[in-house]
Structure 1
Amino acid sequence: MHWQRARRHLARTSLALAGSALASGLAVLLALQLSACAPTDQLASLPSAAPGAREFNVAVLYYDYDDPYVGSIRTALSSDLAHAGVPYEEYDAGNSQSNQDQQVDQALQGGASVLVVNIVTSGNAEVADKVCLKAEAAGVPVVFFNRPVEGEGDEGAILDYYDDVAFVGTDPEAAGRLQGELIGTYLVEHYQEVDLDGDGRISYALFKGEAGNPEAIFRTKYAVERADEILEASGRPDLVYFDENSVDHYQLDLTGSWSAASAHDYMREDLLRLGQGRDGMIELVIANNDSMAAGAIKALQEVGYNLGTPGSTTIPVFGVDASATGRQLISQGVMAGTVSQDPDETAACMCSMVLNARRGQDLLAGLDAYPRDEKDGLSRAVFIPCSIFEPEPSGEGVADAGPDAAGASAGAAS
């Protein structure tokens, strides 16, 4: 990892020189910039540029407000910070890394005491490193969350290098294995009704959220792998991908936004290509998250499947997140299952890290009960456990959340 050390040294030198040269004029320049771009109703809340004049505050940078799962974390974290009496400012990158880079600069120039970052470009240590270098130069700790900051082969490039940086998320493999457990168990119990064409095998479609995101990669891999293990143990054949000419055995959201719209368009094209007869029918849908599951369900409903009515054919669809939309679709009987990633616990863990920073302690102080990334030996990667979502006997849902909500972007690492 020589590239990191060499570039970090140059970056630190440049930041230090720039800081020395600009220190005397920073207060005036910052005030002018903020006054020019801030709405009138925000001017009263602008921070003082005088050193040490601003109280402890947090900048929370989200990759996209439209992501339903991230939105649930946002709601919980905002409540937790307010309850703890911690002032905070929120930023929406709109799924643009360049926007987020500018927002990091704005937050640090505005005197942020802690950066809480839902990085746009996930699984890329070089992108995360730029954030860390800026924060380190300002003496500000960083809490990354939800979207991994390191990719395969770069484990530890960020979390083993910086002392005042941590990550809060889920074990990338866990959600995939649990989803596979859910799928395999369901198929063993309902094999004959799922095998629509009666060929003795289950053909599936799979929607992957983002190319380089470790959570998308491992969900894609382990959902099928674990389901196959359960099927084999019951004497059933492995799942078969519906398109025999496909090399990847998934369809990728090219926008990287884990979107319902992407899954809907793919599913609609797949159904049109296969026709609506039972021969060669897609008999199972696996989605990396609930929003893509909802998009697939919307396409299925457009051709008469998954209507939730007596006698109608339902293709089992599985997601991840246990989002409000996912729970509602399950309660309607049009979605088979999902895996829960607790946004409230994620927010509580991050809030604890923020409070540690306010007390001048290590970010991870008092958080030993949370599991760490033992696979990669990363003690500063905190994992929030996943679980298979178990609906209440009467069904658990949220009013007005249904397949038409599938136009929203997705969660994840979402």
Structure 2
Amino acid sequence: MKKKIAMLMLFAVTGSLLSSCKSNQPEEEINKSIKIGVTMYNEFDPFTEDIRHNIEENLLKLGQDSEVDVTTTVVYSSKNQLVQNEQVDDFIEKGYDAICVNLVDRTDASVIIEKAKSADIPIIFFNREPVEDDLRRFDKLYYVGAKPEESGRIQGELVLSAWEDREEDIDLNHDGVIQYVMLEGEAGHPDAIIRSRVSVDTITAGGVEIERLGDEIANWDRQQAQTKINSLLQGYPRQIELILANDDNMALGAVDALKEFGVQTMPLVVGVNGQTEAIEQIKSGLIEGTALNNAKEKGRIIAEMAYGLSFNNSIPEDIQLTKGKYYFVPYEKIDRKNARQYLQE
């Protein structure tokens, strides 16, 4: 009897140990710690900094919600592609699980792509779209951004709406033509090129004639935009009726210049991105409107993609990609009618 009891106890202990091993095994296989690298083209761009902030905030929340230790490292490339290549190389050497890249040069992503492909590490490019052929070179390359033609169309619609409501106020010389200045973001940048073209095409397609007084590149920079408009005002002190700025940072620079010059009747100024200060100036009437480039939503999508790819090697099911590569966040029109709503969000 004692021998039988001893055998039963042995079986019980053995079964308990086996059960314990089985229950612990999945825990060991689950990665409770992931590392995500973020490299930014520049640290002085307010819009991309807003995206970066939202990426970090969402990754922190995702880790807390699922009790996973998420390490997010952000570095800046100072507009130098060679520096950015080295940063990606460093992330790979340190065993990062996914890398988010705000490219310096969209046409020169080859080095980054080959490094990622060799290491089998996913890359999420954002806000500076690589060439489509480059994205096809590795099945773990993705892009999160917005379609620039949408922002150009919204800018044009803002001008058409204002012209319909206040033509006499806008047309300073009463010639039936809008004299305008274009502030472009960056030479050769596809968003700048498309946004500029579509904004003008939308206005002319709406039946309004326009005349270009100047086309200046200000590199998404407020100070450069202020300098460019200051210079143009020397030659056209009372002729500028519209300033089409490729982003809000340059729109704000244009307003700075107009104030400094002492312009009595402000021309229409339109931007893109939806920066808080720009929306405040829309509310006060200094800027006509902007196309919201939703940094919060971009940051959320990038974070969820990076987390999913790092944690279980997949994109979350609720994120539907175009061509298996792209996620485009829609633009939203902000004008004087709804500016207050966006300031409250």
TM-score, normalised with respect to structure 1: 0.70
Q: Deviations over 1:284-312 (max 9, x none)?
A: 0000000010111111111212xxxxxx4
Query: Using the alignment, how far apart are the partners of 2:339 and 2:246 within structure 1?
Result: 26
Q: Which of the residues 301, 308, 318 maps onto 1:356?
A: 308
Residue 54 of structure 1 and its aligned partner are, at CA, apart by 10
Computing the radius of gyration over CA atoms, which structure comes out larger, 1 or 2?
2
Q: What SS does the corresponding residue of 1:297 show, helix, strand or coil?
A: helix
Distance 1:143 1:397, change over 3 A: closer
Q: Which of the residues 220, 223, 233 maps onto 1:261?
A: 223
Q: What SS does the corresponding residue of 2:225 show, helix, strand or coil?
A: helix
- What residue number does 2:139 align with? 163
Query: Using the alignment, how far apart are the partners of 1:145 and 1:314 within structure 2?
Result: 35
Q: Deviations over 1:66-116 (max 9, x none)?
A: 111111111111110111122110111122222212211221122211010
Query: Using the alignment, how far apart are the partners of 2:84 and 2:310 within structure 1?
Result: 24
Q: What SS does the corresponding residue of 1:202 show, helix, strand or coil?
A: strand
Contact 1:95 1:120 in 2 (8 A): yes
Query: Using the alignment, how far apart are the partners of 1:365 and 1:162 within structure 2?
Result: 21
Q: Which of the residues 73, 80, 87 maps onto 1:103?
A: 87
Q: Deviations over 1:9-33 (max 9, x none)?
A: xxxxxxxxxxxxxxxxxxxxxxxxx
Residue 333 of structure 1 and its aligned partner are, at CA, apart by 1.7
TM-score, normalised with respect to structure 2: 0.84
- What residue number does 1:287 align with? 245
Query: Using the alignment, how far apart are the partners of 2:82 and 2:336 within structure 1?
Result: 40
Q: What SS does the corresponding residue of 1:242 show, helix, strand or coil?
A: strand
Q: Are 2:111 and 1:136 aligned?
A: no
Q: Deviations over 1:199-254 (max 9, x none)?
A: 22110000111122211111010001001112x1xxx4x211025xxxxxx2123x
Aligned length: 308
RMSD between aligned residues: 2.1
Q: Which of the residues 171, 176, 196 maps onto 1:195?
A: 171
Query: Using the alignment, how far apart are the partners of 1:333 and 1:131 within structure 2?
Result: 44
Query: Using the alignment, how far apart are the partners of 1:211 and 1:362 within structure 2?
Result: 36
Contact 2:285 2:336 in 1 (8 A): no
Q: What SS does the corresponding residue of 2:134 show, helix, strand or coil?
A: coil
- What residue number does 2:7 align with? none
Distance 1:57 1:118, change over 3 A: same
Pick the structure with more helix per residue: 2
Q: Which of the residues 173, 181, 187 maps onto 1:205?
A: 181
Q: Which of the residues 70, 79, 100 maps onto 2:57?
A: 79
5+ residue gaps, structure 2, are 1-30, 64-69
Residue 173 of structure 1 and its aligned partner are, at CA, apart by 1.2
- What residue number does 2:150 align with? 174
Q: What SS does the corresponding residue of 1:87 show, helix, strand or coil?
A: strand
Q: What SS does the corresponding residue of 2:176 show, helix, strand or coil?
A: coil
Contact 2:158 2:335 in 1 (8 A): no
Q: What SS does the corresponding residue of 2:272 show, helix, strand or coil?
A: coil
What percentage of residue pairs aligned between the two structures are identical? Answer: 27
